[in-house]
Structure 1
């Protein structure tokens, strides 16, 4: 055993030589990426960390690097395969060699990466989020909403500069039947670390104006296909699952559904497909309306034909019925005429007899008739005297006889 002291450089050299001898191979290591950064030379520097699954405390950490010639191949391969940015916070399985430098100390050099491990971890995280939403009873709430038959008023959550947003609006505007769609953009960041926060802010604004819209469309096309992690968060998924308007997603990717896609009412692949879905919905309503119009026209024409046949039958029946009724009415009128003539003669004869009787009674009751029988009428001052108490001595009276008058003075 060497008892003489080592210089630090000598000790580090010994450590380096020992590690090269003990760990000469390449090793697959599973860890989480942290502090990922690259410089102008194209090299990537990062940390690989491991956390305690219970306490989430760090239990291991190592510096790592990916040299330029490897990084320019490894990064796009990983991102295109996983649909996930090569950035901090994701779990990876990387092939490394162990390095020890006298000045910089212990580090790992990354030579390869296994995207399937990251895909598995991402799928696991999605499953956990979806399971949590299901346990909370909100997973399918948005899917259970009724999709409007005429989804014409559309709240669009997208980046104003995204090519997908332009494609979406162009597709709606140039639909074959010239349906009118009203769209209003609620700008949001659709890639990067602020996707969740930005989309949630736009949904809050839409929620304040629910009566102005029929559906919400979240579209992304034009962004990097590797930057979809922002759509795999619990908060965004929970907000969309419980949103009171149907949500349509078209965030432009071919891989497995994001959590946002899983809770949305309708998921399509691209913004253009989202526009086509809305146009198809309007086409279905228009087709149904046209079918109803055709059915109504057929029913009306059929009913008119039935009524025409009925009128023709009634017309035939009316002709014979009228002739029969006219003949019966003519006979009735003739009979009534004879009855009326007989009745009139009888009535006139009866009334004539009554008039003769009345005439005789009137003649018998006339003053001349009474006077001719010996009666007389006494007048005082032109009025007939019927009560002797109305007379007084000296009154002049005129008594009318059948023939002539007698004037007398009351003396007693």
Structure 2
């Protein structure tokens, strides 16, 4: 019967083979899919992607022990300005290790920062090329910062020291200038930089009319983890933004793509604050100079006008005498013409009235004669209709409630009636009414 090996024995055989056949170190190029530190050690997951499909074609785990990591990582950060992170391409010097208990892994002996720098530069150049091809690389440079740039939208971490320095410098500026600063909090380090800043830009864009410019500041701490500012999506958002964007993300090594496409790039948040203060101070100086020029211009104009008035004042008596003589002569002429016109008008009106009187007199006399004749006729008719003549002939008049009774139907039984004669009148009471058939 064949005797089987234990797993430990098998792994020990593999370890011996690897230690014998792969004793030396190898330089390998790979992309980090994960990188994390734990108790001073660094644990990495390495992948290689197919260029056509971007699908991983190889995977491996790597470890860098603390004694090596504490030496190579500071140097890597000084050269590249970044910590290692997922998505970064690296060149590692590794040797194989197969442990019977823990299995196989690559042990990192060194990292080549120049390789990573080259990859970063290639990526940056590709982003710049694409931005220029889209025609947006210089768009921010074509904007103008408002003369009274006081309403500032700030994109930064709320707890960042750089944001505090920026706000404090604006508030305590030596000119006593007023600035309104509103913070749009964002993640300024790590994998979420791009997404977080774009979200903040979108919020500011929805309130575009409330701000004069945008300041993106980081500042404080190390200059590592700046890869988030070298992305195409973030650069496109900044390049196409309608307000001027000033960047002060606090690194001295070189410019990020974000710095290149912004309206203005300064090195630190305090430099951004100083720039805004200088801009507004320049505007204040221009306003004060204009105010001085206006006051001086008005003063000179008043002096000239005062001299002109004094000059005119010396000529007023002579001019007034000449004017008065001319006006008096003119008034005399007008008075004579007015009297003549009035006399002529009165004469014509008198003649017209006399003519009307001569024409109207015969007509008035005829009209009065006709009307007198009409009155005589009316008087005769009125005499004939006088009720007293009827009474003298033996007729009587019956009255009820002061009105003449013309029909028995106007009376009721018991009504008091008055009968008037030529001489005197009597009152009687209706006892019975008799209807005529």
The structural deviation recorded for 1:306 is: 2.2
1:93-132 map, 5 Å = 93-99=91-97, 107-132=105-130
* Pair 1:173-2:168 in alignment: no
1:373-392 map, 5 Å = none
State which drifts further: 243-252 or 133-142: 133-142
The structural deviation recorded for 1:280 is: 1.0
d(CA) in 1 for partners of 2:26, 2:285: 63
* 1:108–1:11 distance in 2 versus 1, CA, 3 Å: closer
Instruction: Name 1:304's counterpart in structure 2.
Output: 302
The structural deviation recorded for 1:254 is: 0.8
How many residues are paired up? 335
Three-state SS of the structure 2 residue aligned to 1:177 is coil
d(CA) in 1 for partners of 2:300, 2:27: 80
Return 5+ residue gaps in structure 1 as ranges.
348-382, 384-412
The structural deviation recorded for 1:99 is: 4.4
Three-state SS of the structure 2 residue aligned to 1:306 is helix
Aligned partners of 2:30 and 2:48 also within 8 Å: yes
Match of 1:240 among 238, 241, 245: 238
d(CA) in 2 for partners of 1:169, 1:160: 11
d(CA) in 1 for partners of 2:143, 2:293: 30
* Pair 1:293-2:268 in alignment: no
The structural deviation recorded for 1:329 is: 6.5
d(CA) in 1 for partners of 2:286, 2:245: 24
The structural deviation recorded for 1:198 is: 1.4
TM-score if structure 2 supplies the norm length?
A: 0.68
Match of 2:89 among 65, 68, 91: 91
Return 5+ residue gaps in structure 2 as ranges.
341-364, 366-437
d(CA) in 2 for partners of 1:275, 1:79: 28
Three-state SS of the structure 1 residue aligned to 2:153 is strand
Instruction: Name 1:35's counterpart in structure 2.
Output: 34
Instruction: Name 2:66's counterpart in structure 1.
Output: 68
The structural deviation recorded for 1:312 is: 3.5
Query: What's the RMSD between the two structures over aligned residues?
Result: 3.4
* Pair 1:152-2:155 in alignment: no
Over residues 20-68 of structure 1, what are the superposed CA-to-partner deviations in whole Å (9 max), with x where a residue is unaligned?
2xxx3x444333223222322x222223333233332334444322221
The structural deviation recorded for 1:149 is: 0.9
* 1:54–1:107 distance in 2 versus 1, CA, 3 Å: same
d(CA) in 2 for partners of 1:286, 1:10: 82
Aligned partners of 1:85 and 1:229 also within 8 Å: no
d(CA) in 1 for partners of 2:154, 2:102: 51
TM-score if structure 1 supplies the norm length?
A: 0.72
The structural deviation recorded for 1:136 is: 1.8
1:339-378 map, 5 Å = none
